[in-house]
Amino acid sequence: MINIVLFGKPGAGKGTQAEFLKSHYQLVHISTGDVFRYNIKNATDLGKLAQSYMDKGDLVPDEVTINMLEAEVEKNPQAKGFIFDGFPRTQAQAQSLDAFLSRKGMSISATVALEADDDELVTRLLKRGETSGRPDDQDEAKIRNRFEEYNQKTAPLRAFYTEQNKFHSINGIGSIEEITQRLMTAIDSLQ
């Protein structure tokens, strides 16, 4: 079983790359962003709560995210592995994920971080915002606030996973194919 945590600031290409990795390694892709958007679109209680945080450019609180993630894993008992996209975002979440996976006889195989310059990512997100309809991708101030949230809360996970020899930094600039090849090289080195 391969369980990958895919890191990167908003716009780094996590969703795009997760689709290639999902297909190539036959993994289940769990994107907290997609799960949140589904709940928001369907106006569930969780969706309304998540929207209130996302409208401010803030991250959704840990307990809501963790409960959602556990439910998604439970829905896929026959999976060959998972790609966690957008989770964990904090050390507390990483510890909760490790504990949850351990109870299921699983663990994180590797974490891969797609690294890219902030200005490049702002350009990508504003362009995505033109077609996606996502309000959080249409306002540069909100985008930069999301980057700051990432820097404060998520970037410290680099040390957490480095201590476990599970952290891999991947250059997220280049063609989609080039970035996919870099990711696959890192993941193939695990086996």
- Residue 37: which of 26, 48, 22 has the closest Cα? 48
Q: CA of 190: how far to CAs of 72, 74, 110, in Å?
A: 25, 25, 8
- Specify the pLDDT at position 149: 85
Which domains does the chain show, CATH number per domain?
Answer: 2-188 (3.40.50.300)
Give residue-wise pLDDT tens across range 20-40: 999 999 999 998 878 777 778
- Specify the pLDDT at position 54: 78
What average pLDDT does the chain have?
89
- Beta-sheet pairing, 167-171 with 81-85: unpaired
Q: CA of 117: how far to CAs of 10, 12, 79, 93, 120, in Å?
A: 11, 9, 34, 25, 5
Residue positions annotated with a catalytic role: 14, 89, 128, 134, 146
- Residue 86: which of 103, 105, 111, 109 has the closest Cα? 111
pLDDT grade for 86, boundaries at 50, 70 and 90: confident
113: β partners: 7, 169
Phi first, then psi: give them for residue 107, nearest 5 degrees.
Answer: -155, 170
Give residue-wise pLDDT tens across range 41-72: 888 787 888 788 878 888 778 777 787 788 88
- Specify the pLDDT at position 87: 87
Q: What is the mean pLDDT of residues 98-127?
A: 93
- Specify the pLDDT at position 133: 81
- Specify the pLDDT at position 60: 75
Interatomic CA distance for residues 54 and 156, integer angstroms: 22
pLDDT grade for 151, boundaries at 50, 70 and 90: confident
- Specify the pLDDT at position 150: 86
- Specify the pLDDT at position 95: 93
Q: What percent of the chain has pLDDT over 70?
A: 99
